[in-house]
C-alpha cells in the first residue's frame, strides 16, 4: 500500500486498502490510467494502460491536469496568460517527489494526518519551459481509507509576469465510454441539501457558486455514479472541495463518451497575478471511491471529516444540548427574558444557552449595528457578562451569536470607515438584508474584528459562538488592491476569512464554534476545518428537515449537522407536528431547542426532559457512529436511518411517516451495518418488552414497522448485541 513509482515506465500506482489510482507519463503528459477498486501491484503494469488510438491528439488523451490550446477542446484544468498576451502553455513532466504523511496547505483548510504512517503524498512536477510556469500536482493517498486528496501549486519560475485565468484543484478523465450519472446537493435558502441526480449526456453539467460563498444553491460536492448505483451497491466517485467561496464542478461528456470532471475555485470572475517567484496554492479536493454505493461513500467522508478535517477540543467530544433564543424572541428580549428561558432549560437538562442576534449596538431589527460588537445596555443593563454569569449560575454554559463579516450602513463602524466594505468606487453598493460585506482582504479590517471579539471573549464567559454570514458578496472589489489584482478579491476574501478564523479559534480553543450562513449557505468542508459544527438550515420544520438532514449527510458527518426542535405552528412553513416527531428528527443530528421553553405545558416540559435525558444516552452513537440511510425522504412518504457503533455492538434506528396511510400495507425495515454473527436485543419505542434477533435476520428480513395511524408519526428501535448467534451458524 502507499505509492509505488516505476520510474522507467513513468508509472505511479497510488494504492489504499481498497482502491487504486494510476497515472502514467506519456510523451511528457501525466495521463490518467485508472481509478477504482484496488489492483494488486505488479512489476509490469504497462498492460493496464488504456490504449489511445494511434495518432490521436490531446483530445483523446485522459489527462491529470489538462491545458487548452494545443488540440484538447474539452474544459482545461488551468489557463495562464503570458506577458505577451498569449494563453498557450504546455506542461510536461520534469520530476516527482514522494513523502510520508500529508503536507499542510499554507493559509488553507485541509485534511490532515496525525501520524505520517496514515498517508503518503506524491508530488508530480510539471513545467512549461517557455514561460517558466511550474506546476506541482499533489496527491495524498490514505492507507486505510479509500480517499485521495488532490491540490495544485502553481509557481512562476519565469522572468515575466503570468496571469492565471483558471486554476482548478483537480481534473479526472474517465476515458471509457460508460453510462454515468451525476449526483449533487442543490437547493435554496431554507431548502438546502436536495439530492439531485441525473444522467450525464454529451455536453456539460455545471454546478457552481458565483456568490463568494459556497452557497445554499449548490454544495461544493458532486459524485459520479453508474445508473445502477444505490445506497448499498455500485460504484460512486465523490468529489468534495475544501473551500468556502465561489467554486465550480463541471462534468463534461465529449463526443467519444469520455467524461471529465473538473473542480476548484470558480474560474468565472477569477484571475491571479503571478509575479516572478510567486506561487498560487489551490484548495484541495477530497476524492472518495466506493464500490458499495453512496452509503459507503458517505461513511468514508464522515469518518475522515469528523476526525481528520475537524480540529480542536470539541472534535471528539460529545456536543452539548443547547437552547437558542432566535425563534423564541427574535430581536425582542431583555436580560430577564433570556434568563427565564435558561432557567427552564436548566430544569429540563439543557446544557448550553445561546444568545442569538440582537444583543449589540442598537439592533432592534435586522437593519442596523452589524460591526458594533458591544452590548446594548438598553436590553442588557448589567451587560453581557452579567447575563452570562446568571446563566452559568443556573448550570448552563453561555453561547453568543456574531456576524463578523458584515457591516450595516447604519452602524458606528460604517460611519467611521465607509470604505471598509467590499465595493467598487463610483458604483452602487448593493445591500442585502440591509447590510454590506466587510472587506476581509484587508488586514486592518480583520484585526478590528479580532480585537472586538477578543474584548468580549476575555471579559464574558463565552463557551460557544455561532458565526453567522447572511448575504452573498456583490460589487466584489477592494479599495486596497491595484487594478490588475481586483479579480483576486473574491478568493482573497476567503483567504482573509481563513486567516482570521485560524487566529481566533487558536486563541480561544475552549470555545465551541458553530458556523452558519442563513442556515446552510456555507455548509462546506472549509468551514468545518475551523468550526466542527454547522447550523444546517433556517428551516426548522421537522418534515422539511427529513430531507435537509438526509441530503446533507451525503457528505457531512452527523456531529456537524445542527438540528433543533422549534415551536409549532412552524415559523417557516406553518406546519404542526408533534413534539415527539420534532424530537426524533432533531435527535438524529446535533441536538438542541430553538423556542421559548417557558411557554411549554407541564406535559411538554416532561417530554423535553425525557428527550434531553435520552439524547445524553445516545449522542455518542449518533454523533460518532456510522450512519446507514435506510429509506429516503426524497423517494416516498417514509424515511429511516440508523447509527451503528464502530464495534457493531450497538445501533439506533429512527423511522418517520409523513402522511398517514389508511388501511396500510404491512411494512418492514431492513437494517444495515450490523454483524450477522451476533444476536441483538431490540427495544422498540412502541413496546415495553424487548425481543432478540440475529444480525442476519435483522438485515435480511428486517423489523416489522408498527402501524402509525396519524400524520407525522415516528419511532425508534434500540439495538444492542447480547452475544454470538449460536443457534444457526451455517
Ligand atoms: C440567520 C441564522 O441562520 C439564524 O439562525 C439566526 O441566527 C439569524 N440569522 C439571526 O439574524
Ligand 1, pocket-test mutation among 515, 523, 538, 566, most atoms within 8 A of CB:
538
Ligand 1 proximity of 593 Cβ (cutoff 6 Å):
no
Tens of pLDDT, residues 359-383? 999 999 999 999 999 999 999 999 9
What CATH number was assigned to the domain covering residues 322-624? 3.20.20.70
Which atom of ligand 1 is closest in space to residue 518's alpha carbon?
Answer: 3
* Average pLDDT for 241-250: 99
CA dist 562 and 29 (Å) reads 45
**Pocket lining: 356 vs ligand 1, CB cutoff 6 Å:** yes
Instruction: State percent of the chain over pLDDT 70.
Output: 98
Ligand 1 center to 357 CA (angstroms): 7
The residue-averaged pLDDT of 189-195 equals 98
Please compute the mean of the pLDDT values over residues 483-501 and round it to a whole number.
98
The alpha carbon of 330 and the centre of ligand 1 are apart by a number of angstroms equal to 9
The pLDDT value given to residue 727: 56
HSE-CB at 521 with a 13 A cutoff on CA atoms is 19
The preferred substitution site among 401, 402, 467, 520 for testing ligand 1, maximizing ligand atoms within 8 Å of CB, is 401
- Domain 2-308 in this protein, CATH class: mainly beta
Residue nearest to atom 9 of ligand 1 (CA): 518
Measured distance CA(458)–CA(473) in Å, rounded: 31
Res 675: pLDDT: 98
Cα separation, 286 vs 278, whole angstroms: 26
Across the range 140-153, mean pLDDT stands at 98
For the Cβ of 596 lying below 6 angstroms from any atom of ligand 1, the answer is: no
pLDDT at 8: 87
pLDDT at 50: 61
- Ligand 1 mutation target, pool 326, 533, 594, most atoms within 8 A of CB: 326
Confidence of residue 427 (pLDDT cuts 50, 70, 90): very high
Residue closest by Cα to atom 10 of ligand 1: 357
Decide: 401 in ligand 1 pocket, CB within 6 A: yes
Average pLDDT for residues 398-424, to the nearest whole number?
Answer: 98
Q: Distance from the CA of 399 to the center of ligand 1, in angstroms?
A: 14
- The confidence band for 464, taking pLDDT boundaries of 50, 70 and 90, is very high
Which residues, 6 or more positions from 650, have their beta carbon under 8 angstroms from its beta carbon?
621, 625, 644, 719, 720, 721
Ligand 1 centre and the CA of 401: distance in Å? Answer: 9
pLDDT at 46: 67
Cα radius of gyration rounded to whole Å, the chain: 27
Give the atom of ligand 1 at the shortest distance from the alpha carbon of 535. Answer: 3
Residues annotated in a binding site for substrate = 189, 356-357, 433, 466-470, 516, 538
pLDDT band at 48; cut points 50, 70, 90: low
Q: Report the nearest-CA residue for atom 3 of ligand 1.
A: 518
* Binding-site residue positions: 189, 356-357, 433, 466-470, 516, 538
Mean pLDDT (the chain) is 96
600-645 per-position pLDDT tens digit: 999 999 999 999 999 999 999 999 999 999 999 999 999 999 999 9
Residue 27 has pLDDT above 80, yes or no: yes
Is pLDDT of 550 > 70?
A: yes
Per-residue model confidence (pLDDT) at position 728? 54
Q: Cβ(535) to ligand 1 under 6 A?
A: yes
Residue 466: Cβ within 10 Å count: 26
The predicted model gives 336-351 an average pLDDT of 98
- The three-class DSSP label of residue 480 is coil
Q: Is the CB of 325 under 6 A from ligand 1?
A: no
In this predicted structure, what is the pLDDT of residue 45?
Answer: 75
How many CA atoms within 13 Å lie on the side-chain side of 611? 26
Tell me what percent of the residues of the chain surpass a pLDDT of 90.
Answer: 96
What pLDDT is attached to residue 730?
A: 54
- Cα(12)–Cα(45) distance, integer angstroms: 10
Question: Which set of grid coordinates corresponds to residue 250?
Answer: 463541471
Single out the residue of 239, 247, 244, 251 nearest to residue 300, CA to CA. 239
Catalytic residues: 468, 538
CATH of range 631-729; options 3.40.190.10, 2.130.10.10, 3.30.70.120, 2.60.40.1180: 2.60.40.1180
CB 12 within 8 A of CB 23: yes
Q: Which of 272, 212, 288, 219 minimizes the C-alpha distance to 249?
A: 219
For the chain, domain boundaries: 2-308, 322-624, 631-729
Q: How confident is the model at residue 293 (pLDDT cuts 50, 70, 90)?
A: very high
Answer yes or no: is the C-beta of 357 below 6 A from any ligand 1 atom: yes
- Give the tens place of pLDDT for each residue, 212-229: 999 999 999 999 999 999
Q: Is the pLDDT of residue 53 over 80?
A: no
Q: How far is the CA of 563 from the centre of ligand 1 (A)?
A: 14
CA separation for the pair 613, 36 (Å, rounded): 44
- Per-residue pLDDT tens digits for 353-364: 999 999 999 999
For residue 725, name the pLDDT band (cuts at 50, 70, 90): low
User: Following DSSP, what letter does each residue of 668-705 receive, concatenated?
Assistant: EE---S--TTEEEEEEETT-SSEEEEEHHHHHHT-EEP
Distance CA 183, CA 290 (A): 14
Cα separation values, 678 from 84, 317, 537, 655, Å: 70, 29, 38, 23
Amino acid at each position: 500500500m502507499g505509492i509505488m513509482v516505476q520510474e522507467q515506465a513513468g508509472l505511479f500506482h497510488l494504492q489504499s486498502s481498497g482502491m487504486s489510482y494510476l497515472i502514467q507519463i506519456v510523451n511528457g503528459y501525466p495521463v490518467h490510467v485508472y481509478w477504482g477498486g484496488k489492483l494488486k501491484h505488479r512489476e509490469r503494469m504497462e498492460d493496464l494502460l488504456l490504449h489511445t488510438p494511434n495518432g490521436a491528439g490531446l483530445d483523446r488523451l485522459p489527462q491529470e491536469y489538462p491545458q487548452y490550446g494545443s488540440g484538447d477542446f474539452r474544459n482545461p484544468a488551468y489557463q495562464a496568460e503570458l506577458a505577451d498576451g498569449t494563453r498557450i502553455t504546455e506542461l510536461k513532466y520534469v520530476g516527482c517527489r514522494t513523502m510520508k504523511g500529508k503536507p499542510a496547505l499554507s493559509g488553507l483548510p485541509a485534511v490532515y494526518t496525525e501520524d505520517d504512517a496514515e498517508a503518503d503524498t506524491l508530488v508530480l512536477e510539471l513545467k512549461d519551459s517557455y514561460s517558466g510556469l511550474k506546476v506541482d500536482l499533489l496527491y495524498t493517498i490514505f492507507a486505510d481509507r479509500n480517499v485521495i486528496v488532490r491540490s495544485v501549486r502553481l509557481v512562476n519560475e519565469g522572468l515575466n509576469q503570468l496571469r492565471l485565468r483558471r486554476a482548478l484543484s483537480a481534473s479526472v478523465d474517465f476515458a471509457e465510454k460508460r453510462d454515468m450519472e451525476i449526483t449533487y446537493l442543490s437547493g435554496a435558502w431554507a431548502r438546502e441539501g436536495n439530492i439531485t441526480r441525473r444522467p450525464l449526456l454529451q455536453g456539460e453539467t455545471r454546478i457552481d457558486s458565483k456568490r463568494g460563498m459556497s452557497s445554499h444553491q449548490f454544495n461544493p460536492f458532486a459524485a459520479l455514479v453508474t445508473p445502477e448505483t444505490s445506497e448499498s451497491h455500485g460504484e460512486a466517485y465523490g468529489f468534495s472541495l475544501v473551500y468556502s467561496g465561489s467554486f465550480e464542478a463541471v462534468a463534461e461528456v465529449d463526443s467519444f463518451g469520455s467524461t471529465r470532471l473538473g473542480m476548484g475555485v470558480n474560474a468565472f470572475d477569477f484571475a491571479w497575478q503571478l509575479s516572478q517567484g510567486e506561487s498560487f496554492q489551490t484548495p484541495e479536493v477530497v476524492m472518495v471511491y466506493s464500490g458499495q454505493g453512496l452509503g459507503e461513500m458517505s461513511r468514508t467522508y464522515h469518518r475522515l471529516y469528523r476526525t481528520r478535517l475537524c480540529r480542536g477540543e470539541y472534535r471528539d467530544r460529545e456536543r452539548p444540548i443547547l437552547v437558542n433564543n432566535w425563534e423564541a424572541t427574535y430581536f425582542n428580549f431583555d436580560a430577564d427574558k433570556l434568563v427565564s428561558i435558561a432557567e427552564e432549560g436548566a430544569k429540563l437538562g439543557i446544557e448550553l444557552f445561546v444568545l442569538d442576534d440582537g444583543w449589540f449596538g442598537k439592533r432592534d431589527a435586522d437593519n442596523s449595528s452589524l460591526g458594533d460588537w458591544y452590548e446594548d445596555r438598553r436590553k442588557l443593563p448589567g451587560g453581557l457578562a452579567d447575563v452570562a454569569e446568571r446563566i452559568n449560575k443556573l448550570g448552563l454554559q453561555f453561547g453568543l451569536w456574531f456576524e463578523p463579516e458584515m457591516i450595516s450602513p447604519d452602524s458606528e463602524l460604517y460611519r467611521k470607515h465607509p470604505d471598509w466594505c467590499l465595493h467598487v468606487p463610483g458604483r452602487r453598493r448593493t445591500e442585502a438584508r440591509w447590510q454590506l460585506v466587510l472587506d476581509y482582504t484587508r488586514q486592518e479590517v480583520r484585526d478590528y474584528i479580532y480585537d472586538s471579539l477578543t474584548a468580549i471573549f476575555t471579559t464574558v464567559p463565552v463557551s460557544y459562538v455561532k458565526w453567522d454570514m447572511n448575504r452573498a458578496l456583490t460589487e466584489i472589489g477592494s479599495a486596497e488592491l491595484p487594478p490588475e489584482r481586483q479579480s483576486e478579491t473574491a478568493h482573497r476574501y476567503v483567504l482573509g476569512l481563513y486567516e482570521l478564523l485560524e487566529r481566533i479559534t487558536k486563541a480561544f480553543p475552549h470555545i465551541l464554534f458553530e458556523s452558519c450562513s442563513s442556515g446552510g449557505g456555507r455548509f462546506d468542508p472549509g468551514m468545518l476545518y475551523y468550526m466542527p459544527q454547522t447550523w444546517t438550515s433556517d428551516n426548522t420544520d421537522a418534515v422539511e428537515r427529513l430531507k435537509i438532514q438526509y441530503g446533507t449527510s451525503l457528505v457531512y458527518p452527523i456531529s456537524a449537522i445542527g438540528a433543533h426542535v422549534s415551536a409549532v405552528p412552524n415559523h417557516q412553513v406553518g406546519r404542526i407536528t408533534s413534539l415527539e416527531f420534532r424530537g426524533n428528527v432533531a435527535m438524529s443530528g446535533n441536538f438542541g431547542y430553538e423556542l421559548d421553553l417557558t411557554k411549554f405545558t407541564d406535559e411538554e416540559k416532561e417530554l423535553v426532559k425525557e428527550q434531553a435525558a435520552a439524547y445524553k444516552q445516545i449522542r455518542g452513537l449518533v454523533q460518532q457512529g456510522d450512519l446507514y440511510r435506510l429509506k429516503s425522504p426524497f423517494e416516498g412518504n417514509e424515511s429511516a436511518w440508523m447509527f451503528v457503533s464502530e464495534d457493531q455492538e450497538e445501533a439506533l434506528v429512527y423511522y418517520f411517516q409523513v402522511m398517514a396511510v389508511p388501511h396500510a400495507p404491512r411494512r418492514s425495515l431492513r437494517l444495515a451495518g450490523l454483524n450477522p454473527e451476533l444476536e441483538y436485543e431490540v427495544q422498540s419505542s412502541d413496546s415495553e418488552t424487548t425481543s432478540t434477533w440475529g444480525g442476519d435476520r435483522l438485515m435480511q428480513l428486517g423489523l416489522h414497522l408498527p402501524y402509525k395511524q396519524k400524520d407525522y408519526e415516528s419511532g425508534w428501535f434500540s439495538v444492542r448485541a447480547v452475544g454470538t448467534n449460536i443457534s444457526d451458524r451455517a
